[in-house]
A and B are shown apart, each in its own frame.
Chain A
Amino acid sequence: MHRLSEPTVAGSAERAAAGIQARFRLAYAGFGLDVELDLPGRGVTALFGHSGSGKTTCLRCIAGLERAPQGRLAINGELWQDSASGLFVPPHQRALGYVFQEASLFPHLSVRRNLEFGMRRIEPASRRVSWEHVLELLGIGQLLERLPERLSGGERQRVGIARALLTSPRLLLMDEPLAALDLKRKNEILPYLERLHDELDIPLLYVSHAPDEVARLADHVVLLDQGRVVAQGGLQETLARLDLPTAFSEDAGVVIEARVADHDDAYHLTRLEFPGGEVLVARRPEALGQRLRFRVHARDVSLALARAEGTSITNLLPATVQALAAADTPAHVLVRLEAAGTPLLARITRRSADQLGIAAGQRLWAQIKAVALLG
């Protein structure tokens, strides 16, 4: 408790100017949460983990819907909870927006009245998010007079997000907002979430157990497992870490942000450039220069000592081995590579690793069998 109240105060006050510091400890029968988060005050932070890892509980503690007996929470310098001094700001006095898994619109109110519900309850002077902008951003302008029961699942969720935004929150919390939707609806909403990220300067905490959503939206990621933080940091570095529990290594892979460099109309290919090199992918609709994220699974990366000739694999990157670690099965190892500043992970058999004599510092070629484009 001491380190919460004394020595960190000066330090956190400085960082607090733009950041979220949270420390929660609570225990239920069969579940405990013990987390310490230090998150940037901007961009999208994903709380990522399997179900039961405590991500939703964590989010509820931040919202004040759950009261951790031991907790401290500061949002951009404003203290919302401090169990040491007994401070607990009730949820309705916290300037946050919360989007639940099911949109949870008030069934007795029209879309317009749902949207106005929160907006009317904040000071007119503190309305920084404009009505027109939100309607346009989420494409719900034509739904205003409908009742929630007349909306599709995707529309409902968009209204739920708009309703939260219209309270001009200092922090937006989303609890698996896409989990209850089918793939089609998900793809309908994801672009709206990306626009939020690009157009509004509201930090977003996003709970998800879907690696693709995280890879597509997040700038920063917190990995949770059994109520504890396993890793937190920037998206690229965190995903490329080797010291994560094996539960995550089945899905291991990195996310690379690239730029559309070139279209090859003859072969219907698009060349994507990033600091560590370039990859060819099937023709993309995006214009030249546009930014795109793609994911490279560790299991789709193989290693060769020399540049392979006579192979159908087109995407070869020169890389340096940084470290090796155990993978999810005893038959495999995870190799962390670096291609001119871009981290990569490869999952190869232990036998291959021994035969090739893979060791830190070695220069070799990473052969990328597949990339998953996000968006």
Chain B
Amino acid sequence: MVPLDSVDLAAIWLTLKLATLTTVLLLLIGTPIAWWLARTRSKWKGPIGAVVALPLVLPPTVLGFYLLVAMGPHGFIGQLTQGLGLGTLPFTFAGLVVASVFYSLPFVVQPLQNAFEAIGERPLEVAATLRASPADTFFSVVLPLAKPGFVTAAILGFAHTVGEFGVVLMIGGNIPEKTRVVSVQIYDHVEAMAYAQAHWLAGGMLVFSFLVLLVLYSSRLKQGWRG
């Protein structure tokens, strides 16, 4: 008998909702950033690239702390959201989404940037001599050629968001059905000595993560063969 109760199921549902929404937003935000990073000769390429990569090395609590401050009533994001009549973001699902977008950004931008760089200049020039405008070229040549990069980016962005803990605690606290995701729920179960439930959730996460990586690495191997 699976000992998961409705709170556990709500945590799983919330986690999937958060990861899906974050991934969609990240693909929308990350694509132009990655395209710019892949193509620019600007002196800002280095600094912007470093900022995007920061979540790779920062402890999640540091990122969470600054986001908490920024989203608070006196922070610049907080001022903005209050000005728009949205209240403040900490301890809400929306706040969690915003924080996750920052937290998982490099996992989406870097595969996309690599994919764009691998395409090189030539296909773009060919498209131009075949009368395709730059925007047309982006949609009809760049996107299809970068498809494997988008798949990798989406999987990594999704999986990394599912696996976050520190940032969630800092920004979202631990509110059932609003901000309590699976990783936090596991922590709660362990605190309460409910090891059976913790096992089920933790085991689920383990299997999920393994499957994601398996799909990713097998598809890379296949591409390697064909190329």
Contact = CB atoms under 8 A, between A and B. Distances in A.
Interface of A: 63-65, 90-93, 96-98, 100, 102, 104, 106-108, 117-118, 121-122, 163-164, 167
Nearest to B126: A104
Contacts of B141: 106
Contacts of A117: 127, 130, 132, 140
A202 B141 CA distance: 28
B126 A91 contact: no
Given A104-B122, A106-B123, A63 B129 contact: yes
B128 interface: yes
A92 B133 contact: yes
B144 interface: yes
B43 to A, nearest CB: 18
Most buried by B among A92, A104, A107, A117: A92
Contacts of B188: none
Minimum-distance CB pairs A-B, first 9: A118-B130, A98-B129, A121-B131, A91-B128, A108-B144, A92-B128, A104-B126, A92-B131, A117-B130
Given A92-B128, A100-B122, A121-B136, 12 more contacts: A92-B130, A92-B131, A92-B134, A100-B125, A106-B123, A108-B145, A117-B132, A117-B140, A118-B130, A121-B130, A163-B130, A164-B130
A121 B132 CA distance: 7
Contacts of A104: 122-123, 126
A90 B128 CA distance: 8
Interface of B: 122-123, 125-134, 136, 140-141, 144-145
B129 A91 contact: yes
A65 B130 CA distance: 12
What is the predominant secondary structure among interface residues of chain B facing chain A? Answer: helix
B126 A167 contact: no
Contacts of B127: 92, 117
Contacts of B134: 92
A92 B140 CA distance: 14
A98 B122 CA distance: 12
28 contacts: A64-B128, A65-B128, A65-B129, A90-B128, A91-B128, A92-B127, A92-B128, A92-B129, A92-B131, A92-B132, A92-B134, A93-B131, A98-B126, A100-B122, A100-B125, A100-B126, A104-B122, A104-B123, A106-B123, A106-B141, A108-B144, A118-B130, A118-B131, A121-B131, A121-B132, A121-B136, A164-B130, A167-B131
Contact of A167 (B125, B130, B136): B130
A11 to B, nearest CB: 30
Nearest to B147: A108
A98 to B, nearest CB: 4
A118 B125 CA distance: 13
A97 B128 contact: no
A97 B129 contact: yes
Most chain A beta-carbon contacts within 10 A, residue among B129, B131, B136, B145 = B129
Contacts of A100: 122, 125-126
Contacts of A65: 125, 128-129
B224 to A, nearest CB: 15
For B123, B128, B133, B134, the residue with the greatest tally of chain A CB atoms inside 10 Å of its CB is: B128
A121 B134 CA distance: 13
Contacts of B123: 104, 106
Contacts of A107: 145
A110 B131 CA distance: 19
A106 B129 CA distance: 13
A113 B83 CA distance: 51
Contacts of B144: 108
